[in-house]
Amino acid sequence: MTSPLGKDLLGLEFLSSEQIRLILDTAEPFKEISERAIKKVPALRGSTIVNLFFENSTRTRISFEFAEKRLSADTVNVSSSGSSVAKGETLVDTARNLEAMRIDMVVIRHGASGAASFLAERIESNVINAGDGTHEHPTQGLLDLLTLRDHLGDLKGKRVCICGDVLHSRVARSNIWGLQKVGAEVAVCGPRSLLPNSIEEFGVTVFKRIEEAIEWADALNVLRLQLERMTAGYIPSSREYNRVFGVSRERLNRAKRKILILHPGPMNRGVEIDSDVADGPHSVILNQVTNGVAVRMAVLYLLAGGKPELAEAAKGGNR
Amino acid sequence: MPARNEEPQTLLTASAVERTLKRMADQIVELNDGTEDLVIVGIQRRGVQLASRLCALIEKSEDAKVLQGSLDITLYRDDLQTIGPRPVVGPTNIPWVIDGKNVVIVDDVLYTGRTVRAALDEIADFGRPARIALAVLIDRGGRELPIQPDVVGKKVTVEPGERVDVLVEDLDGRTAVVLIPPGDAAP
């Protein structure tokens, strides 16, 4: 039996709903491991995993590293600064050199959309996309799904609105595809300048006002305003953005039902989300972080192993 | 798939399973000099069902509370690299401090011993019991590791390719132990 997910995890767009459910269901028992005194199981003992991070990251990199270590894999972190990437080495050359040292998996974050799949076609190791440009961030999408499922139960028919800077957000794309595959209704809300031109093609509802989104939704996934990717004047100012689109306690209080608030982090407090919302009773932002480790453990586990050429040696039952 | 030439043969009926479990419960109490430090840990999935039955029987006969836990050994298997990942079917739940306790591992069928090896490794990650014993409903032989049970329900000799399935009420709708002829799919 080879991996039920195939060789790589590049995005949620091409996963089936069964594969997404398998990852979420597999993540459930992994939650318990992080609650043990000895937070470690031997599943990936002997596997070597390289975390190749060409963009800054705290949460995702550390979360992957915890997931790898709690599965007993050996891990190496490579960042663009301080490695030969700074000397002009290409992505493929870097990865091939790592492969020559006999690695099993690469977790890659890169500023260029499609970088993970470019790499996956060229190396034999399993590749996990930890965010490629504005394309996808599949493990973030999965941990959002897991957190929503923890609080809302089956997501079929549940309404989730993705708010803010959808244009620059790989989290938004992974969320839209992931949520739709498990049967949720998806909407987006944000200034037109921060929504992709073809947003309707995703099959989502578009809200122009945050008040309408709050009225409609069971959960809001509030995106960070990605000022570092904004090359032109997309919004007049952060302050004005907060006044028109900010998720505030006051706006949430007007909603008739309890709305779950998610944020992929890092937060711009006082811009897309107010502090009393981020730290308030609606927020499941830290649950997302906890679930991130479990989801990444599930992905690593499901991609690992299954080398048929070794199966001959393993003949015999396993009872 | 080879032609199905035989019907599954019943090795133990529901009432025979009940009688066997009663005897096993008594043996577990005897082996551990009572119930004071006893922790019974079932291996997912059918071992967990059997562990519950054994706990209930011991609690009834000894009039004492018995601590119970469950283990899923999937992540401790030795065949991930070759066979590939298998679904993790159930939670591991050992909410007790097991240091210094008498742990009894319960499983339905003992075959190669590899599951028990994995369970021993997993238990070691939770603490250091005073002793660990193994109780199985069926010992079908065919060990690949030096592991032997302390309490056995029934020992059976099984031809290569045949399979012994333990059916339990909660998962299968009835209680029985059956011998499945070669080539039949898993339940």
Q: For the segment A219-272, what is each residue's pLDDT rounded down to a tens digit?
A: 999 999 987 777 677 888 889 999 999 999 999 999 888 899 999 999 999 999
What pTM was computed for the model?
0.90
Contact state of B76 with A3 under an 8 Å Cβ cutoff = no
B157 touches chain A (CB under 8 A): no
Mean pLDDT for the stretch of residues B65-85: 90
Q: Which domains occur in chain A, in start order? A: 17-137+291-314 (3.40.50.1370), 138-289 (3.40.50.1370)
- Catalytic residue list contains A290: no
Give kind and range of the element (H or E) at residue A288: helix A285-303
**Which one of B76, B80, B114 would you mutate to disrupt binding with A, by most A Cβ within 10 Å of its Cβ?**
B80
State how far residue A268 is from chain B, nearest Cα, in angstroms: 37
State how far residue B111 is from chain A, nearest Cα, in angstroms: 5
The backbone region for B66, taken as left when phi is positive above 0, alpha when psi lies in -120 to 50, beta otherwise, is beta
Consecutive 10-residue runs of chain A (319 residues): their mean pLDDT? 82 96 94 92 94 92 97 92 79 89 94 95 95 97 98 97 95 97 97 93 95 96 86 83 94 91 95 95 96 97 71 43
- Catalytic residue list contains A205: no
Cis-peptide into A308, omega within 30 deg: no
The answer to whether A272 and A242 have CB atoms below 8 angstroms apart is yes
Q: Which domains occur in chain B, in start order? A: 15-76+97-158 (3.40.50.2020)
Q: How many CA atoms lie within 13 A of A32 on its CB side?
A: 17
- Catalytic residue list contains A109: yes
- Catalytic residue list contains A39: no
- Catalytic residue list contains A59: yes
The answer to whether A286 and A26 have CB atoms below 8 angstroms apart is no
B2 touches chain A (CB under 8 A): no
State how far residue B71 is from chain A, nearest Cα, in angstroms: 11
ipTM above threshold 0.90: no
Q: Say how far apart CA A85 and CA A50 lie, in whole Å.
A: 15
Residue among B82, B92, B121 minimizing CB distance to A32: B92
The backbone region for B34, taken as left when phi is positive above 0, alpha when psi lies in -120 to 50, beta otherwise, is left
- Candidates A109, A149, A158, A173; catalytic one: A109
Where does chain A show beta strands of DSSP type E? Answer: 48-53, 74-79, 105-110, 126-132, 159-163, 185-189, 205-207, 219-222, 260-262
Q: For the segment A96-120, what is each residue's pLDDT rounded down to a tens digit?
A: 898 999 999 999 999 999 999 999 9
